[in-house]
Amino acid sequence: MTLEQIIWLSLFILTVVTLVSFFWVFAPYFPTRKGHLALIQKVAQLKAGDTFYELGCGDARVSIALAKAYPEAQIIGLEMAGPLFFWAWIKAKLSRQKNLTIKWKNIFWQNLSDADSVYIFGMTESLNKKLKEKFLAELKPEARIISYVFTMKEWPGKTETFKGKLSGKDQTKITIYTLPAPPN
């Protein structure tokens, strides 16, 4: 390795470490537990041709798992934190799933009107304010919102809750909100 290559590699590593440090201070990362992926796959119930969005995909573990489980559906992961996006993008490429796309994007800048299902691991406050408004404004009738752990209040459509248990006290709750069908 030449001295110039060593300098560039060192600068790259320093930049990544700085960005990761900045990210951890301002936006903590809480990944979906790997053991809960089977329950998420089960309740997603995607069909051929469905479009699925993972909002704030982090390291893309849910997107990758669903892309493998549902190869006929289009899976799109959105992440706005640079280091996590980069990591998710690399993992997506290494997974070789042709039906998987990872985008570096703020979830509020993505139009979700083509979504059949949306997955979110968001805090209750954000779900009940901006995200609920966005879902009601953009999602098509009968689109599904899959919420990991947290819930929305006063949903106008159908609501289903699934509980899963891995072992011992490790439990989780997934709530699916379905937009109402259009009136006849």
pLDDT digits (tens, 9 = 90+) for 94-123: 999 999 999 999 888 999 999 999 999 876
Residue with tokens 């379905």: 178
83 belongs to a structural domain: yes
81 belongs to a structural domain: yes
pLDDT in tens, 54-64: 999 999 999 99
pLDDT of residue 24: 47
CATH number at residue 98: 3.40.50.150
149 belongs to a structural domain: yes
Q: What is the mean pLDDT of residues 127-134?
A: 80
18 belongs to a structural domain: no
pTM above the 0.75 mark? yes
Spatial distance between the Cα atoms of 50 and 159, rounded to a whole number of angstroms: 20
Residue 159: pLDDT band with limits 50, 70, 90: confident
Burial environment of residue 104 by CB neighbours within 10 A (0 to 12, 13 to 18, 19 or more): middle
The chain-wide mean pLDDT, for the chain, equals 84
Burial environment of residue 139 by CB neighbours within 10 A (0 to 12, 13 to 18, 19 or more): buried
Helix (H) or strand (E) segment spanning residue 118: strand 117-120
pLDDT of residue 39: 86
Could you tell me which residues come within 8 angstroms of residue 12 by beta carbon, excluding any fewer than 6 positions away? none
- Looking at the structure of the chain, the number of domains it has is 1
Spatial distance between the Cα atoms of 12 and 21, rounded to a whole number of angstroms: 14
Residue 46 corresponds to which tokens in the numbers above?
A: 């995607």
Range of the domain at 62: 47-178
pLDDT in tens, 16-26: 766 655 454 44
150 belongs to a structural domain: yes
Spatial distance between the Cα atoms of 178 and 168, rounded to a whole number of angstroms: 31
41 belongs to a structural domain: no
183 belongs to a structural domain: no
> Quick one: which of 113, 176, 108 has its CA closest to 139?
113
Angle between helices 82-95 and 3-26 (to 10 degrees): 110
Burial environment of residue 121 by CB neighbours within 10 A (0 to 12, 13 to 18, 19 or more): buried
Q: What is the mean pLDDT of residues 42-54?
A: 95
14 belongs to a structural domain: no
